[in-house]
């Protein structure tokens, strides 16, 4: 798998994980829409009942993870796609959780130029 294919797979996982996260919030907090987690009564860093997960609200987004930045996702409700920084942070969470192969993603984590080139190529291909 080349770097661009790895980014494509990571982006697919990002979208799947975001869908999962929104469903988790709606189910565990009886929300009609995951965006409701930004209401004042839900703000802060809170354990999600009956799960190993925590969420932390910020601005127009939410960060869901297990302790030590493991697994989960951090996203903003007003963005359909992550930017390069958010996608990289997602990759770190997934690497920490063992959810993606280190042999494929560690080189992207360790080489900023390779990361930026792959992400830019991915978005250029999608916007073409």
State pLDDT tens for residues 75-119.
999 999 999 999 999 999 999 999 999 999 999 999 999 999 999
The three-class DSSP label of residue 23 is helix
Alpha helices in the chain, H assignment, sequence order: 3-29, 84-97, 102-110, 112-127
Q: What is the per-residue pLDDT for 18?
A: 98
Q: What is the per-residue pLDDT for 1?
A: 87
Q: What is the per-residue pLDDT for 104?
A: 96
């Amino acid at each position: 798998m080349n770097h661009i294919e790895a980014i494509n797979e990571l982006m697919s996982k990002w979208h799947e994980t975001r869908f999962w996260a929104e469903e988790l919030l709606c189910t565990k907090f009886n929300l009609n829409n995951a965006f409701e987690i930004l209401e004042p009564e839900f703000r802060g860093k809170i354990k999600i009942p009956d799960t190993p997960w925590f969420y932390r609200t910020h601005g127009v987004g939410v960060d869901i993870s297990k302790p030590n930045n493991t697994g989960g996702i951090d996203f903003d409700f007003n963005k359909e796609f992550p930017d390069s920084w958010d996608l990289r942070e997602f990759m770190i969470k997934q690497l920490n959780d063992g959810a993606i192969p280190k042999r494929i993603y560690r080189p992207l984590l360790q080489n900023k130029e390779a990361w930026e080139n792959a992400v830019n190529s991915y978005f250029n291909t999608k916007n073409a």
